[in-house]
């Protein structure tokens, strides 16, 4: 009986050590990534283009902390450059970069280019500019 208790306790201790030994610590090698969410809808103004960054796993996620508010953001229709401005809102869905001229509507069958210049700094505090670009062609406005 004493031998069976000893064997049971031994297996229990080994099992518990396996459970606690399998957990990985949170990674410390965080690298920030930048994300762009942009929709151009034919017949609508250019609005709600969001530029966000990832946050470290060790911090609590807050969408408003992730928003990049100081980027230079441009949309090009051919040679026409449209600078977008950042507008803040209490609603995360309404924050983002907008084209100030709300009478300009996205055109069908048109190629648009997006250029975002991010203000970042490296370890030596030298100003460095990272650029994100993208291109899309809007669909025909006809409903099939």
The tens digit of pLDDT for each residue in 66-82 reads 999 999 999 999 999 99
Q: Which pLDDT belongs to residue 12?
A: 66
Cα separation, 21 vs 93, whole angstroms: 42
Task: Please tell me whether the overall predicted TM-score, pTM, comes out greater than 0.85 for this model.
Answer: no
Does the residue 112 lie in any domain?
Answer: yes
Would you say residue 107 has pLDDT above 70?
Answer: yes
Q: What are the E-state strand segments in 55-110? A: 72-77, 80-87, 96-99
Our CA dihedral for 131, 134, 135, 141, rounded to 10 degrees, sits at -130
**Domain limits for position 45:** 26-137
Q: Which pLDDT belongs to residue 122?
A: 45
Does the residue 21 lie in any domain?
Answer: no
Tell me which residue has tokens 């980027």. Answer: 71
Report the CATH number that the domain containing residue 77 is assigned in CATH: 2.60.40
Q: Which pLDDT belongs to residue 94?
A: 79
Does the residue 7 lie in any domain?
Answer: no
Q: Which pLDDT belongs to residue 72?
A: 95
Does the residue 8 lie in any domain?
Answer: no
Domain count, the chain: 1
């Amino acid at each position: 009986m004493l031998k069976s208790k000893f064997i049971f306790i031994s297996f229990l201790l080994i099992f518990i050590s396996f459970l606690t030994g399998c957990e990985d610590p949170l990674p410390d090698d965080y690298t920030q990534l930048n994300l762009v969410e942009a929709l151009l809808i034919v017949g609508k103004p250019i609005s709600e283009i969001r530029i966000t960054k990832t946050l470290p796993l060790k911090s609590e996620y807050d969408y408003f902390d992730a928003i990049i508010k100081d980027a230079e953001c441009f949309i090009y229709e051919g040679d026409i450059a449209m600078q977008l401005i950042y507008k803040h809102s209490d609603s995360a869905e309404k924050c983002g970069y907008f084209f100030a001229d709300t009478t300009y509507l996205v055109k069908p069958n048109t190629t648009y280019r997006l250029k975002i210049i991010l203000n970042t700094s490296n370890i030596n505090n030298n100003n460095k500019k990272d650029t994100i670009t993208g291109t899309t062609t809007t669909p025909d406005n006809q409903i099939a």
